[in-house]
Structure 1
Amino acid sequence: MSEKHAQDLHQCCGGPGEALLPFNVGREQILAAITPLEQNQVTDVRAALGRVLAADVLSPINVPAYSNSAMDGYAVRYADLPRDGEARLPIAGSVLAGHPLKQPCPAGACVEIMTGAQVPAELDTVIIKEVCQRQGDYVSFPAQGIKAGQNRRHAGEDIAQGAVAVPAGTRLGAAELGLIASLGQAEVSVVRRPRVAYFSTGDEIRSLGQPLAEGQIYDSNRYTVTALLARLGIDVVDLGVIPDRPDAIENAFRQAQQQADVILSSGGVSLGEADFVTETLERLGEVAFWRLAIKPGRPLAFGKVGDAWFFGLPGNPVAVMITFLQFVRPALTKLAGETLKPEVMVTLPSAEAIRKKPGRTEFLRARIEVDAQGRAQVRSTGHQGSGILTSMSQADCLLVLEAEQGDVAAGDPVRVQPFEGLL
């Protein structure tokens, strides 16, 4: 990292010795530091699901390409209909989808038309079949209730030729891919997938398949984090479990910075004697801040090693998931070139009383439920310890208590962040 960049990062985000940063300030400063990747790739539309669009998709055609009928019925000139009394017009032909009328419709006549079929240029109104009465080659229309231009979709009504069909920064889903395909485009330009290197730290951590000795635990953080990364379409470099030795952690940093855009670790960022991650980061790069006024997840390192951004997550599994969702996920979203959208938050009454001291933003694991009167409310999943992973698996949302908020009484409105689309 250049000296100037280190100074800018420190000025932007503060240093490790400063007071606890408020939640919103920490996240805003992380997002201010992150810039989107500039490398783009061209890919087949069929392989673009979940990718982020690098350039606007402009429509080469009008959508729909021609005026067409929204209903099965009869296409007429509105001017041919009398203002009073029932109309009776001869049927000059039938128009099916994909089979335009070959000859113009004579004045004073109409055509039978099917949904999606091209409306002849000389006709301007479609009357649905259900209100019409056909007698041989003639059809009668009701005297009232017909409006000029009804049931007719105009050319370019959905997308005009040359207009932006899908803007850059869109994460492509099924609807976007179908829309792009409807324009006749077989390829799209997408942002390169970010690469994230991840490692867990701790002498007590063991990978799956290894036997546990006394005082050891299996590594759950690698699996929650890599799953969260997979939901974002991230290319993951799994560096495994790194023991609590400065040389091993330094080697992990050096290996990660050569392979990834972002380095993630869990554990080793608190004040313990064997917590070497922040110490190593300060030696190899720049640590911007590492203490936040949130619960769970106060120890959070953010900085840069070489050209790779670094997030040092706490070691407790719930704190790992909370800090990932609130800080790492939006940062990776921006890095991937996706347009950041406001978070989905709803306000619901709390089903229970909650004790809280002002000063920290708290994220309680909770579930949305329906009371006896059919009204939605939110209730915590019980014990909220940062090591209780079941509190996350049983939850479908986070109950967010703002820093300045105190105790909550049953029935008080609280902010809720649903997990839908996040986990």
Structure 2
Amino acid sequence: MPASDTGLRRSLRRAERRRLLSGLGLTLPLVAFLLGFFLLPILGMLEKSVENPEIRAAMPETARALQDWNGEGIPDEAVLATFAREVVAAQKARTLASVAKRLNVEHSGWRSVVMAAGRGLPEAPEGSWRDTFAKLDPAWTEPEIWQAMKRAAAPYTDFYLLAALDLQRGDDGAIRSASADEAIYRTVLWRTLWISTVVTLACLFLGYPLAYRLATLPEGTANLLMILVLLPFWTSLLVRTASWIVLLQREGPINEILQRLGLITEPLALVFNRTGVYVAMTHVLLPFMVLPLYSVMRGIPPSFVRAALSLGARPTTAFFRVYLPLSMPGVAAGCLLVFILAIGYYITPALVGGQADQMISYFVAFFTLQTVNWGMAAALGSVLLAATIVLYLVYARLVGIDRLRLG
């Protein structure tokens, strides 16, 4: 091989390496940003949903003793003595409240039982520890509280994830449905998906004709009207939501106009219910539907529809057989974007919806800000993340099949 060819290949390889390193250098800030502000928080949320640190942190010796206990009846005197000693120590260190709060999640009322033990346990028992605990509260003679404490002493738990799906693990370890008065989260999840679906369809119904009209106008006129579409982005979400409360209330302008036109005789209930949620969320999310549709429709040559018309197709036939299939990538992108944004909405349903209209994000905020139950908040967030991923995979599958058929 001539030396000139070898030198040329080396130069090409060096140039390729420089191009590759340059590309990696340009994408490294984005990768670091996604890793630090997207992937790691998600992993942290997933860890929080199965983390079980309260008893192990406040009572490490009790946690180890309970893990060795067979779970039948009441623990022996050695375990009870260890527990009593660490209860007193945790009370002095002011860490007993976290243990009591964790057990109260398992069964309402156990918090007061644990806190009373911290205040009333003596340094040394009068007789056996079993009798001492029984005198404090009869709940300590029941196996259920000790079995719950054994579960809470494990490093990881599926309690929160099961609770987020209205499931619970019985004393025998079997998973069963929660009681009717405790099962709310599956209903909330279906409500979230239903509201998001209705809002997505409403945005598509309103956004498709608007995007079609913008795409057929001259570029200057379309750009001017696009400013009106983007105008809501320049207004605070909270302000827009509060404005809809004013517009939709019983004495608001919408009801007043309908009454003056004679369309209604009494004011309609348009706010603090599902109707208000649909209207406000559709208004907020409509631009996210219009933008993908407009970008795709702008790239469809008008000559395609004219060709169909020149070949004898009716306008409706030309639209459904030519234009609509070509615009489907914009429809799919817009629907996916609006739906994913809708399922995580919190402010709009919380302000304009009623008690039966709150979505799953409301309960995530409730457990995060009010009860400070990070495990339950992370579990609900994980369920919502899983539902989003499943729906996205179904969407990708359907779009892939449709593309193959179109091809």
Q: Same fold (TM over 0.5)?
A: no
TM class, shorter-length: under 0.3
With normalisation by structure 1, the TM-score equals 0.22
Comparing both structures, which one devotes a greater share of its residues to helix? Answer: 2
With normalisation by structure 2, the TM-score equals 0.22
Comparing both structures, which one devotes a greater share of its residues to strand? Answer: 1
